[in-house]
Amino acid sequence: MTVRHVVVFRWNADVTPDDVAAIDAALDALPAQIPSLRGYHHGPDLALGEGRWDYGIVAECDDVDGWRAYEQHPAHLQVVTEVLRPRIAERAAVQIGPAH
């Protein structure tokens, strides 16, 4: 069963374009370091509708164990702690399975 982890963020008011570029670079490096990732997509919101967040990530793993390995991987935890968390005002996440 494929597990998709979807997370969205609203940034702190002082986040700059350079901060977002650093976030992009840090996230770009994760798939090569975390074997359980099967797909990994991230980026700023395209501003196409109402109720938007600033940034989103979709991580795809083969199963729940793969998702747990991603969530607990030291490289992921380092990005969360050092790069993301200091810039986040709000966060929401959901894990979903295969399409119905």
Range of the domain at 35: 3-49+60-96
Structurally, the chain folds into a number of domains equal to 1
**CATH code of 35's domain:** 3.30.70.100
Q: What whole-number distance in Å separates Cα of residue 93 and Cα of residue 58?
A: 10
The answer to whether position 54 is within a domain reads no
Closest to 58 (Cα-Cα) out of 88, 27, 82: 27
The per-residue pLDDT for range 10-47, each reduced to its tens digit, is 999 999 999 999 999 999 999 999 999 999 999 999 99
Percent of the chain with pLDDT strictly greater than 90: 95
pTM value? 0.92
